[in-house]
Amino acid sequence: MTLRIIKPEVIKDKTILLRVDFNVPLTNKDGRKVVVDNTRIKKALPTIKLLQQHNCKIIMLSHLGRPGGKIDEELRLEPLATELSSLLEEGLESETEAIPQIKTSQHLVGSEVEALISNLKAKEILILENTRFDPREKENDLKLAEKLASYADLYVNEGFSVSHRAHVSTAGITNFLPAYAGLAFSEEYQMLTQLTKDPKKPFVAVIGGAKISDKIEAIRNLTKIADVVLVGGGIANNFIKAEGIEVYQSYLEEEKLAEKKNDDQSFVELAFDLLEENKVDKMLLNDYIPLPKIIYPSDVVAAEEMKKPSWTEVVSLTDNKQQDLYPDLMFLDIGPKTQRLYRDIILQAGTVFWNGPMGVFEEEAFSDGTKAIASAVAKTGAETTIGGGDTLRAIKNFGLEGRFDHVSAAGGAALDLLAGHRLPGLEPLLESA
Ligand code: ADP
Ligand code: MG
């Protein structure tokens, strides 16, 4: 399968519906809403500029936050237009050059939008109001999709990070318009498929974070494509408990998958099965130490309080006597032994994929594990890909930005792709080679 990517001869002089993911954090400043982190907007700039170079009229679609299918004054897209405008201005070659106008509408469809579109000139941008103000967006309502499609000649998806959603703006529209991937979408797709198809060995996956429900399927699929999966963070507690080790008051997502997947196993049971299935797989460390495919922490940093703890303690999980004393104990970071082992493995990898902090990195006392992993991934000679909103935040805190080969901005969508799922926003852009 190959991805259909925008090309000059296809986009020239066309009106384009461009789906972006401008779901960025906003804050109030001098009575106005302003963008706090414009990374996602920046990622779409090359595609926007390419469309402008080829005289396209650009109608942009994005969601922002979770308005729940209703208008929410706090979540209007206007501040995004201001940010986009100043980013495009920064990129201008000369001061005399004017940037094409950026307009916003108060609605997603309807007469106001139609009037704005009929006045839209080549290179201009119209940002339609928050797609999620309309309840039909998430229902993937085909009537809404058809209406939106009637406004343009082509659809371009530049929001890989929402391509795991079957919504009007990510999937529905492709029923009515020729659909192409934008440049950043394509880059993200290539880097993730590279991991699943032809990673340089050994391929080490490091998975952490809080909720195992977000990540278990990616872990399952990674056991098939990676040589070793190192787990940390809150999700490691499921594996630790699966091995019969007490986790006390540690964060543990134990809800059943029943509602979602018609599966009545708990996450601890699923973790147990994964460990069992992968017992026989071995990977060699330094060419002589056999390792199981899934490795979970052998020691943890524990405390009774998550915020500003009065004391913390390293608890060895291979020696269970010392833990009986503390019924309120929580495991909040990977311990020093585990850090060393994970580090050694990462330094010998050919490919590393890392998603999810190793502990509650927001708290100084529990940030060492994530720091150790971040430094090892930054330092290794392997081809590295990192992703996950909190993981990227941790990297920023540690001052390690720019030390990785690929940074995936697509948390859930990336994990879904790595889990082997079909993404409803990606499928319509693929064609058999
Ligand atoms: P990402 O956004 O990178 O995918 P997640 O959202 O899955 O990561 O998880 C990040 C959160 O997990 C952080 O807020 C962190 O505090 C929390 N976390 C990590 N380890 C633990 C732990 N042992 N117990 C509870 N929470 C944890
Ligand atoms: Mg997160």
From the CA of 415, how far away is ligand 2's center (Å)? 12
Q: Is 96's pLDDT higher than 80? A: no
pLDDT of 376 over the 50 cut: yes
Q: Are 237 and 252 a contacting pair, CB within 8 Å?
A: yes
- The reported pLDDT for the residue numbered 1 is 86
Ligand sitting nearest the alpha carbon of 234: 1
Confidence of residue 410 (pLDDT cuts 50, 70, 90): confident
Q: Which long-range contacts (CB under 8 A, 24 or more apart) does 336-341 make?
A: 336/299, 336/368, 337/298, 337/299, 338/232, 338/297, 338/298, 338/299, 338/300, 338/369, 339/368, 339/369, 339/372, 339/373, 341/295, 341/298
| pLDDT at residue number 214 | 86
Ligand 1 contact, 355 CB (< 6 A): yes
Atom of ligand 1 nearest to the CA of 215: 7
Residue 93 has pLDDT above 80, yes or no: no
How far apart CA 67 and CA 232 sit, in angstroms, is 33
Locate the ligand 1 atom nearest the alpha carbon of residue 393 and give its number.
3
- Mean per-residue pLDDT over the chain, rounded: 92
Hey, whose CA ends up nearest to atom 5 of ligand 1? 209
Specify the amino acid at residue 360: V
CB 45 within 8 A of CB 91: yes
Residue nearest to ligand 1 atom 24, measured at CA: 234
> What is the predicted pLDDT for the residue at 320?
62
Distance between Cα 419 and ligand 2 center (Å)? 17
Q: Give residue 228's pLDDT band: very low, low, confident or very high (50, 70, 90).
A: very high
Residues of the chain above pLDDT 70, percent: 93
Instruction: For residues 20-36, give the mean pLDDT.
Output: 94
Q: What is the pTM of this model?
A: 0.87
pLDDT for position 97: 72
- With contact defined as beta carbons under 8 Å apart, do 165 and 416 qualify? no
pLDDT of residue 258: 44
Digit-coded pLDDT (tens) for 1-16 = 899 999 999 999 999 9
pLDDT at 77 over 70: yes
131-156 average pLDDT score = 98
Binning pLDDT at 50, 70 and 90, where does residue 163 land? very high
What is the rounded average pLDDT of the residues 171-188? 97
Rounded to 5°, the CA angle 392-69-41 comes to 35
- Cα 176 to Cα 173: distance, rounded to the nearest angstrom: 6
Residue in the block written with tokens 């206007």: 78
Question: Highest mean pLDDT: which of 26-30, 153-157, 192-196?
Answer: 153-157
Q: What is the pLDDT of residue 322?
A: 54
Other CB atoms within 10 Å distance of the CB of residue 405: 13
Confidence band of 356 (pLDDT split at 50, 70, 90): very high
User: Is residue 95 pLDDT above 90, yes or no?
Assistant: no
340-356: average pLDDT: 96
CA 148 – CA 160 distance, rounded (Å) = 20
Determine which of 182-191, 207-216, 274-283 has the lowest per-residue pLDDT on average: 274-283
Rounded to whole angstroms, how far apart are CA atoms 26 and 36? 5
Position with higher pLDDT, 146 vs 285: 146
Calculate what percentage of the chain has a pLDDT beyond 90.
79
Q: How far is the CA of 307 from the centre of ligand 1 (A)?
A: 14
> Greater confidence, 233 or 92?
233
- Is residue 283 within 8 A of residue 291, CB to CB? The reply is yes
Q: Which atom of ligand 1 is nearest to the CA of 394?
A: 3
Q: 39, 219, 360, 363: which to mutate for ligand 1, most atoms within 8 A of CB? A: 360
Q: At residue 192, does pLDDT exceed 70?
A: yes
Strand ranges for 269-416 from DSSP E: 283-285, 289-291, 294-295, 299-303, 313-316, 330-334, 351-355, 383-387, 406-408
Residue 270, pLDDT > 70, answer yes
Name the residue with the closest Cα to ligand 1, atom 14: 360
**Mean pLDDT, residues 151-175:** 97
Write down the pLDDT at residue 279. 76
C-alpha of residue 214 to centroid of ligand 1, in Å: 11
* Beta-carbon contacts of residue 128 (< 8 Å; ≥ 6 apart): 59, 60, 61, 77, 104, 105, 107, 108, 109, 113
CA dihedral 272, 276, 277, 280 (to 10 degrees): 150
Considering only CA atoms, which of 268, 207, 279 is closest in space to residue 237?
Answer: 268
- For the cut 60, the answer to whether the pLDDT of residue 232 exceeds it is yes
Atom of ligand 1 nearest to the CA of 233: 20
Does residue 389 line the site of ligand 1, with CB under 6 A?
yes
Question: Which residue has 């008051």 as its token pair?
Answer: 249
Q: For ligand 1, is residue 391 a contact (CB within 6 Å)?
A: yes
Tell me the two tokens of residue 314: 């390293």
Dump pLDDT digits (tens) for 235-260.
999 999 999 898 999 999 876 554 55
CA distance 274 to 374: 26
Q: What is the dihedral of CA 59, 36, 400, 378, to 10 degrees?
A: -30
